[in-house]
Chain A
Amino acid sequence: DVKVTQSSRYLVKRTGEKVFLECVQDMDHENMFWYRQDPGLGLRLIYFSYDVKMKEKGDIPEGYSVSREKKERFSLILESASTNQTSMYLCASSPPGLATGANVLTFGAGSRLTVL
């Protein structure tokens, strides 16, 4: 069964801490994404990557950075966590190219981050 695996299901961090959220996919997908999901705001795209070492800003990149050193792994980094970054973080991947359905996302289980 294909999978997107997020390393931590629940995290509690303190304001100012550096936080790493890890995501690994085993589908050989080129595209990987980080979203955050908040009540009333839905899923919002933070960053995405279409190739190793390539990244593009999404709609809300401020306060975040990403790293993609290997095709299967996409990391989200909060350099200095703040309370407004308390959220559910969802990693996703999708196949490459412009073929119909290429944008179909497979999500990980999510990482619920609480910043105190």
Chain B
Amino acid sequence: QKEVEQNSGPLSVPEGAIASLNCTYSDRGSQSFFWYRQYSGKSPELIMFIYSNGDKEDGRFTAQLNKASQYVSLLIRDSQPSDSATYLCAVTPPGGYQKVTFGIGTKLQVIP
């Protein structure tokens, strides 16, 4: 079982819709959870991180964490064509606070 699992997509949503990106992780003791965005040919950049159960909102982005279900998601409201990118879920394991493990990423396509 992979440590961090994501559906590779592509996930296609119409402009203005809500995009929902999902991620599951295997280690129940994982501490911090990150969403990175990576445009084609570019390096990943942080969107947001979350470490407590519940929701965390930043503009059009909401991260949701459910530690009991070992599930973290990213919602993008009012999706724009400029949101088309690959979204990487990342997790830090218990005790290994320097080591960040990534999922394979979900490719999002926002259709104008």
Contacts and interface: CB of A to CB of B under 8 A. Distances in A.
B104 to A, nearest CB: 4
Interface residues of B, number: 23
A60 to B, nearest CB: 12
Interface in B47-72: 49, 51
B88 A103 contact: no
A105 B104 contact: no
Contacts of A90: 43-44
A48 B97 CA distance: 12
B17 interface: no
Interface in A63-116: 90, 94, 98, 100-110
A110 B41 CA distance: 9
Interface of B: 8, 32, 34, 36, 42-46, 49, 51, 88, 90, 92, 97-105
Interface of A: 31, 33, 35, 40-45, 48, 50, 56, 58-59, 90, 94, 98, 100-110
29 contacts: A40-B104, A41-B104, A42-B88, A42-B102, A42-B103, A42-B105, A43-B44, A43-B102, A45-B101, A48-B98, A48-B99, A50-B98, A58-B99, A59-B101, A90-B44, A94-B98, A98-B97, A101-B32, A102-B97, A103-B32, A103-B97, A104-B46, A104-B49, A105-B36, A105-B44, A105-B46, A107-B44, A107-B45, A108-B43
